[in-house]
Chains A and B, each alone.
Chain A
Amino acid sequence: MSYVLRTLRKKREVDTIIRDTIDKVLVLRFGRSSDPVCLHLDDALCKSAREVSKFANVVLVDIDSDEIQVYASYFDITFIPSTVFFFNAHHMKMDSGTADHTKWVGAFHKKQDFIDVVEAIYRGAMKGKLIVSCPLPSERIPKYQLLYRDV
């Protein structure tokens, strides 16, 4: 899937792309291309990347690279894949009924789900919000257990 979407491996690339995406939602997928769930997510991303292209930008980040570990620890990425949303260099949070609002964990059931999520983020961002609520019903949201360290 990485031949359709860009894969970033350097910290500088990630920086530039966050800075340079203006007035569009930036979708950063942190994961590795060998993981099956990641592949599932990547498939949905590839197919909808063109349709969303007018208001979103989709980019893959390889979590196995050394420079990216900084970001992995900053965003607290433990589950693969995780997707982080940005708008005009602001980190957008989404309340999907799970414990962690800062990122989206797991794959999407359908292409349309991803498009809905991106649209919700875009609308909220255009209104000036930094956190939006998820438009998907709870069956479509992948559930996971958040393990707290040393607690």
Chain B
Amino acid sequence: MATLADSFLADLDELSDNEADVIEEEDVDAGNMEEDVDGEMADIENLNYDDLDSVSKLQKTQRYVDIMQKVEDALQKGSDISNLGMVLEDDPEYQLIVDCNALSVDIENEIIIIHNFIRDKYRLKFPELESLVHHPIDYARVVKKIGNEMDLTLVDLEGLLPSAIIMVVSVTASTTSGKPLPEEILDKTIDACDRALTLDAAKKKVLDFVESRMGYIAPNLSTIVGSAVAAKLMGTAGGLAALAKMPACNVQLLGAKKKNLAGFSTATSQFRVGYIEQTEIFQSTPPSLRMRACRLLASKSTLAARVDSTRGDPSGNNGRALREEIRKKIEKWQEPPPAKQPKPLPVPDSEPKKKRGGRRLRKMKERYAITDMRKLANRMQFGVPEESSLGDGLGEGYGMLGQAGSGKLRVSVGQSKLAAKVAKKFKEKQYGSSGASSGLTSSLAFTPVQGIELSNPQAHAHQLGSGTQSTYFSETGTFSKIKRT
């Protein structure tokens, strides 16, 4: 036990020793840094971001320097299309272009890292700026212009940003919770901004070079969308092969701007188009057809890129054919619809009328169906002359209506087969009262034959109903036969 406790104590000592070592290291590093060390810098987190060089190493790499040099030379040399005979891969210029593409992607990543760096530093001064200005290069320019200034009315942001955003920035700056930066941090931030701007300029140069060689690298693609846009697409995609592998929907969105600022209405925001928006075909289509044109352009340019990546058509004929196709399609969309001609009448009686059925129709038809009263009046008993309205066989005959022995004196309104509620009520009445529904009716009735007749409640109500109604399943029927055993 003692040894265990001792070992624990020893562990504790070790820990504290380690901490001491770490703090020492920090101080050493801090001492080695170019900039001065402040109390705030002792934080471990800031260790990584203090030194700009530890973050952005690209500009120091040999590769970068080499390629930039070559690009400068090539740009000065002017366009040179004498290498058509050579196989593409052996051509040093093609290799340079491939490298340029990779480099431009790297530069972009680098810019993003530097942007993060600037943002973290400037957060102390003006935290809201990062949410107002999204684009890294714009952010860098704005930070450089504002510097350590607290009052934004003294700073002129014209030309750097759209006026609406300048206004928002000024307003936010007046209520910001930031404090002015210390001198060293400010210097570091401005340095980082400069670096970002140089990287951006380098990227532009690279893109210009690629664009000038575009007709040689990807003739079909540049015939359709133009060399500038083709260069940008290739640069963003990271090479012709990468561009060819992309599906057309992605190509459509290459270079699309990100979301709008909060608070600005999205009603006027452009639909999702990227670099394709800058092609002349797109610009020359009427606004209503632009979405369709954009999709068409993206798909055809993807096809052209695929042809180019395999060097299938160095002369660019494929591209011209595709361009012609696109033009024709857009024209076809714009032509007016064919004039509407009046339809001739259909042949009489050729289309049979649509008969409807169903519960609703049956209920409607019930209103006009033959009532029980009429049915009774239509029938006669055998051998018994019927009564008539004028007597002696003149006038309308009454048939079985009101005849003695029919079990019915007053022909009540027959319940419809579909009225479930009425059927239930009717059943109740049968078993309940002796047939009289209201208190005013009496069970006595006068018939011309026998004088007074009492109604027999036990008589079948469905004596007349329908001839096919079976009494076996009747809900109101009685036992048909009772055997005494």
Contact = CB atoms under 8 A, between A and B. Distances in A.
- Asked whether A and B interact, the reply is yes
A90 to B, nearest CB: 18
Nearest to A49: B344
A126 B342 CA distance: 26
Interface string B337-378: 000011111111100000000000000000000000000000
Interface of B is mostly: loop
B347 A55 contact: yes
Contacts of A51: 342-345
Contact of A52 (B341, B344, B349): B344
Interface string A124-136: 0010000000000
- Interface range on chain A: under 10, 10 to 19, 20 to 34, or 35 or more? 10 to 19
Contact of A54 (B341, B342, B347, B349): B347
A50 B342 contact: yes
A96 to B, nearest CB: 19
Interface stretch (A9-17, A35-43, A68-76, A115-123): A115-123
Contacts of A2: none
A73 B347 CA distance: 33
A115 to B, nearest CB: 7
Nearest to B347: A55
Which of the four size classes fits the interface of chain B? under 10
Contacts of A52: 344-345
B375 to A, nearest CB: 36
A119 B348 contact: yes
B344 A53 contact: yes
B348 A122 contact: yes
Contact of B349 (A50, A53, A115, A126): A126
Contacts of B343: 51
B352 to A, nearest CB: 14
Interface in B300-356: 341-349
Contacts of B342: 50-51
A126 B345 CA distance: 17
A115 B343 CA distance: 14
A57 to B, nearest CB: 12
A126 B350 CA distance: 11
Interface string A18-57: 0000000000000000000000000000000011111100
Contacts of A53: 344
Interface in A86-133: 115, 119, 122-123, 126
Nearest to A24: B347
Contacts of A50: 341-342, 344
A28 to B, nearest CB: 20
A10 B349 CA distance: 35
A145 B378 CA distance: 54
Contacts of B347: 54-55, 122
A52 B343 CA distance: 10
A8 B342 CA distance: 26
Nearest to A126: B349
Contacts of A126: 348-349
A50 B349 CA distance: 19
Nearest to A48: B345
A123 B344 contact: no
A27 to B, nearest CB: 14
In this complex, the member of A53, A54, A126 whose beta carbon has the largest number of chain B beta carbons within 10 angstroms is A54
Interface of B: 341-349
11 contacts: A50-B341, A50-B342, A51-B342, A51-B343, A51-B344, A54-B344, A54-B345, A54-B346, A55-B345, A55-B348, A122-B348
Interface of A: 50-55, 115, 119, 122-123, 126
